[in-house]
Amino acid sequence: MKISVLVVDGVFDSGLSSVLDVLRTANALRGELPEPPPPWQVRCVSPRGPVRTGAGHLVDAVRPGDVAAPDALVVPGVWHKQPTPLTAWVASPEQLPVRRTIQGARAAGVPLAAACTGTFLLAESGVLDGEPATTSWWLAAEFRRRYPQVALDETQMVSRGSDVTTAGAAMAHLDLALCLVRDSSPALADLTARYLVVDARPTQASYSIPGHLARTDPIVSAFERWVRQHLTQPLRIADAARAVGTSERTLQRALDRVAGVSPLRFAQQIRLEQAVHLLRTTDLPTTAVARKVGYENATTLTSLLRKRLGTTPGQVRRQVSDRART
């Protein structure tokens, strides 16, 4: 399989190397399988030839037209961590050749993949319209505002659409590359992950920080403060809306715009964040932790942790214990 990795000046070093190293490792491990998939032939491409990474390293790249059409085009993230400069960059005339390369690949039926801030390049090129997608969790509010036609779910680590795959923040480049390997051989993807010590991470929800998202909107910020001040009490959205000086409908719209979730779901995120903190830093029984974050019993808390974060109270505490031993 021929893989073209589309690189630009400022490409995220570890994101690029993650994609290259996963595919290189998969190639090296193919011989350990009784029926290995074909090898991957990986080339870095760029409309302008060689590029400099965000850390200043030179990456050799050829122009897309100088190589055979790939079986997949991968777009790593770039070194922009704030939404305003990122959106200005992806929409700039300087990136027009990059956007055209992406659009041309889409028109030719080439499967596309991107991670982290690279997902903004796909969205700006219009190839994510109507598709499910994910992105870096802390950039989700800007992504949702700028690209409302994309079905964004930033809780996902990897999202699959029709011949387009997106992955979340920074180290999700590993998950994206393993997804490409898994398309050819699930066994080889699992073997590669074991050699690289990459755990399964189906969701970004456990990494997101509700307070960071809340700061992008005054109504959401006020609601976040109210929820934290009333953690032990039953949640009544009408009371919360009244306390922050707005209507339930306006509160819903603000949260949908910023976080893509309902007020109840956002409050759950805050409560689960606090529950995980208490499980990690105290010896309180799970029932006591549940009550401190507004749930009547441990069963409800355990169910929500499993459903929303893919973990349990016991797993959270075992992780802390394992780190302490090492």
Mean pLDDT, range 141-159, rounded to an integer: 92
Tell me, what's the pLDDT at 199?
A: 84
Tokens of 295: 């749930």
Tell me, what's the pLDDT at 324?
A: 62
Mean pLDDT, range 81-100, rounded to an integer: 94
CA geometry: angle at 270 spanning 264 and 271, to 5°? 85
Q: Give yes or no for residue 326 having a pLDDT over 60.
A: no
pLDDT band at 124 (very low <50, low <70, confident <90, very high): very high
Tell me, what's the pLDDT at 2?
A: 96
CA distance 132 to 140: 13
Mean pLDDT, range 166-186, rounded to an integer: 94
Tell me, what's the pLDDT at 271?
A: 92
Give the chain as a 3 state SS string. Answer: CEEEEECCCCECHHHHHHHHHHHHHHHHHHHHCCCCCCCCEEEEECCCCCEEECCCCEECCECHHHCCCCCEEEECCECCCCHHHHHHHHCCHHHHHHHHHHHHHHHCCCCEEEECCHHHHHHHCCCCCCCEECCCHHHHHHHHHHCCCCEECCCECEEECCCEEEECCCCHHHHHHHHHHHHHCHHHHHHHHHHHCCCCCCECCCCCCHHHHHCCCHHHHHHHHHHHHCCCCCCCHHHHHHHCCCCHHHHHHHHHHHCCCCHHHHHHHHHHHHHHHHHHHCCCCHHHHHHHCCCCCHHHHHHHHHHHHCCCHHHHHHHHHHHHHC
Residue type, 314: G
CA distance 241 to 50: 53
Query: Does residue 2 contact residue 41 with C-beta atoms inside 8 Å?
Result: yes
Q: Give yes or no for residue 33 having a pLDDT over 80.
A: yes
Mean pLDDT, range 23-39, rounded to an integer: 95
* pLDDT digits 0-9 by tens, 299-318: 999 999 998 888 899 999 88
Mean pLDDT, range 251-270, rounded to an integer: 88
More confident residue, 202 or 43: 43
Q: Give yes or no for residue 160 having a pLDDT over 90.
A: yes
Beta-bridged to residue 72, according to DSSP, are 3
Tell me the percentage of the chain whose pLDDT exceeds 70: 97
Query: Does residue 237 contact residue 227 with C-beta atoms inside 8 Å?
Result: no
Q: What is the pTM of this model?
A: 0.75
Mean pLDDT, range 30-34, rounded to an integer: 94
Q: Give yes or no for residue 105 having a pLDDT over 60.
A: yes
Residue type, 45: V
CA distance 306 to 221: 27
Q: Give yes or no for residue 264 having a pLDDT over 60.
A: yes
* pLDDT digits 0-9 by tens, 187-217: 999 999 999 999 877 777 667 777 777 777 8
Cβ neighbours for 140, distance < 8 A, ≥ 6 positions apart = 152, 154, 213, 259, 260
Tell me the percentage of the chain whose pLDDT exceeds 90: 74
* pLDDT digits 0-9 by tens, 217-233: 889 889 988 998 999 99
Tell me, what's the pLDDT at 323?
A: 62
pLDDT band at 85 (very low <50, low <70, confident <90, very high): very high
Mean pLDDT, range 78-93, rounded to an integer: 91
Q: Give yes or no for residue 257 having a pLDDT over 90.
A: no
Mean pLDDT, range 161-176, rounded to an integer: 93
* pLDDT digits 0-9 by tens, 71-82: 999 999 998 878
Q: What is the mean pLDDT of the chain?
A: 91
